[in-house]
Amino acid sequence: MISRKLYVIFCICSILCSKKTLTQDLETIVITGNLSAQKLKETGRNILVINQDEIQRYPVNSLDELLKILPGIEVQQRGPQGAQSDIIIRGGTFQQVLVVIDGIRINDPLTGHFNSYIPIHPNEIDRIEILKGSTSGVFGPDAVGGVINIITKQFQEKYINEKKQAQVKLSAGSYGMFNQSAYLRLQDKRQYISIGYQKLKAEGPQLRGTTGYFNNSNLVLSMGRKFNDQWSMIIRGAIDSRSFNAQNFYTTFSSDTANEKVSSTWQQVIIKRKTEKSTLEILASTKQLLDIFNFSPAATPNRNKSGLYTFQVNHTQQLNDRNSITLGMQSIAKTIRSNDRGDHEHQHAGIFSIITHKLPANFHLSESIRADWDKSYKWVLVPQINLAWAPSNITLRTSIGKSIRDADFTERYNNYNKILVRSGSIGNPMLEAEKAWNMELGMDLKLSKKLEVKSTVFRRVQQNLIDWTPTSYSSMPRKENLISTGTYALANNLGSVTTSGFEIDLVGGFVWSEKRKISFKRGITYLNSITPTGTTPSFYISSHARWLLSNAVIIQRGNTYISYSSLYKSRMPQQANAPGVSLTRKYLLHHVKVEQRLMQKKLGIYVQVENLTNIKYSDLLGSIMPGRWWSGGMSLSLQ
């Protein structure tokens, strides 16, 4: 394994050798990080944008594997190819990062472990905007660590000018892998219909007495109509089913031979009115999820059924050439019916305003304020201010904002409804909401119109941070279904935790001709989380990476594409009481994909290798990830 220093030098050298650059013009990228269109340099934030071509080219199989190789995002996988992953940004735990599709959140109320189950077909995606740091003033008070903002072609109305499209993908590989994908879109100038299907399946590597199998699939149907030059509507529905080996996903016990099945349905309606000076969006979404977890053949399965119901209205008005305002309201209802956690309901509502200004001397300012009511913590104000100064090739930016997050159903009620619990994680109904202030200061340097270095220092001060801590029986707040000799971890408020760090991102590439190009996204992130006593607290906080170095490259030479990604992670060591169970302190992964396009690029044939150097590693205690994984396949696209 190469050292961290050598890897840092490799990334820095990429900056110094820049001559010609990639075709995408960074100065013209327009994003929706404030719910209204802004140029990237005007937002005052560090935002990473991933487009459709990159999604198709990178050596990944699922959206969580895509996020894992991007700068500044840590994805802690329990299993491969969408089995289960925790998404972490700037040390924010998996429930402190929001996942949003076309303006609607999909974070599951049962547990943040399911937030990577993104019910969308990759071919539907126009781009993904990664907003690093707090975005609570815009997307909701619990956007503590960042936001994964997925924007579809339909939402952007790009289907109007695109041709009809059909695509079929098949691939096979190690561990009995056989993946399938199909996508069809039909449209004219006023309406469209699309259907996408994806199935990822493998027997998986050998584990302790079992195999790491997975069988994950989703089916997405989307329809839209543009009624006239102003009004349009999108209706979308999805069925997502994931069945996988969950051995030691949540415990380190040798008796753990778990398997899990998570099935969900998702419906979304978007009504949009767009004029030259204003945009009105009415968004409604429902999500139903059934989780069946079986710890062992002798155990009674946990059966958890959760619901998420969201309604939101946004109205953006361009006041003049320099000022705009967005007003909105949001209503969220959550439910659970569980033999493990009991039956519960939760409500949340908020109203918000966002004002953006183009000030003299190339200053750009946005202020947002939310008034949120939550069943747990009642009323709270959530402000945020972003400021950017972008005179020419340099942008200086800063942001400060407040966040607040209430506990999910697992943190409050895990193992709460069982008759007898001998060991494991115990929920705590008395948890208080997390509160945090996020501050950051950054500088973006454009080496050309299409090559940029983004550097940021940040600090988050959190109160009442929720995490799991080992707790003796005598200290448990509720003992009715526990035993005095049991080994437990209780969901606790940890008091104060401060997370500080910096990140450096390099985005750009080189171009020698139309068919000779290189594009890349590289990043270095350092994090340190401490309590006032100077110690690193609890399980999930101590498991986040201190050093995270990522590298994603796409090389085009004629009709041949070579994509490469690497990931270096270094963190505090952890060792469980169970024999042979530990958290890999540091590792370096390499993934490679080679694709040849034929028949005027309609047919693609590729070979892909993940974990090229066959590293043995674990992102979370007990969850052993696969070694080297070969695969190959073909794709046929017709327009």
In this predicted structure, what is the pLDDT of residue 12? 45
In this predicted structure, what is the pLDDT of residue 403? 94
Going by pLDDT thresholds of 50, 70 and 90, the confidence category of residue 560 is: very high
Cβ distance 184 to 166 under 8 Å?
yes
Cβ distance 240 to 266 under 8 Å?
yes
In whole angstroms, how far apart are CA 178 and each of 114, 173, 560? 23, 7, 24
Going by pLDDT thresholds of 50, 70 and 90, the confidence category of residue 139 is: confident
Extract the tokens encoding 51.
């487009």
Dist. CA 539–CA 94, nearest whole Å: 12
**Over pLDDT 90: what percentage of the chain?**
66
Dist. CA 106–CA 112, nearest whole Å: 10
Dist. CA 34–CA 97, nearest whole Å: 17
Higher pLDDT, 136 or 361: 361
pLDDT digits 0-9 by tens, 40-51: 888 888 999 998
First to last CA, the chain: 44
Q: What is the mean pLDDT of residues 494-507?
A: 92
3-state secondary structure string across 302-333: EEEEEEEEEEEEEEEEECCCCEEEEEEEEEEE
Mean pLDDT of the chain: 88
Q: What is the mean pLDDT of residues 422-441?
A: 93
In this predicted structure, what is the pLDDT of residue 16? 40
- What is the tally of structural domains in the chain? 1
DSSP state of 300: P
3-state secondary structure string across 386-429: EEEECCCCEEEEEEEEEEEECCCHHHHHCCCCCCCEEEEEECCC
In this predicted structure, what is the pLDDT of residue 1? 42
**CA-wise closest residue to 106 among 243, 231, 265, 229:** 265
**CA-wise closest residue to 486 among 535, 429, 418:** 418
In whole angstroms, how far apart are CA 492 and each of 144, 250, 470, 589? 18, 17, 10, 34
In this predicted structure, what is the pLDDT of residue 41? 84
pLDDT digits 0-9 by tens, 57-88: 999 999 999 999 999 999 999 999 999 999 99
CATH of the domain at 500: 2.40.170.20
Task: Indicate if the alpha-carbon torsion angle 412, 415, 420, 425 is positive or negative.
Answer: negative
**Over pLDDT 70: what percentage of the chain?**
91
Q: What is the mean pLDDT of residues 199-219?
A: 93
pLDDT digits 0-9 by tens, 243-295: 999 998 888 888 888 999 999 999 999 999 999 999 999 999 999 999 999 99
**CA-wise closest residue to 367 among 382, 379, 380:** 382
In this predicted structure, what is the pLDDT of residue 339? 94
pLDDT digits 0-9 by tens, 286-310: 999 999 999 988 888 999 999 999 9
80: phi then psi, degrees, rounded to nearest 5:
-85, 165
pLDDT exceeds 80 at position 160: no
Going by pLDDT thresholds of 50, 70 and 90, the confidence category of residue 513 is: confident
| Residue 472 CB burial class (10 angstroms; 0-12, 13-18, ≥19) | exposed
Cβ distance 169 to 179 under 8 Å?
yes
In this predicted structure, what is the pLDDT of residue 623? 85
Dist. CA 579–CA 591, nearest whole Å: 30
In this predicted structure, what is the pLDDT of residue 10? 43
pLDDT digits 0-9 by tens, 577-605: 555 566 788 999 999 999 999 988 899 99
502 lies in which domain range? 4-638
Q: What is the mean pLDDT of residues 500-509?
A: 94
pLDDT digits 0-9 by tens, 304-355: 999 999 999 999 999 999 999 999 999 999 999 999 999 999 999 999 999 9
Max mean pLDDT among 125-134, 147-156, 172-181 falls in: 172-181
In this predicted structure, what is the pLDDT of residue 507? 92
pLDDT exceeds 70 at position 624: yes
pLDDT digits 0-9 by tens, 97-131: 999 999 899 999 999 889 999 999 999 999 999 99
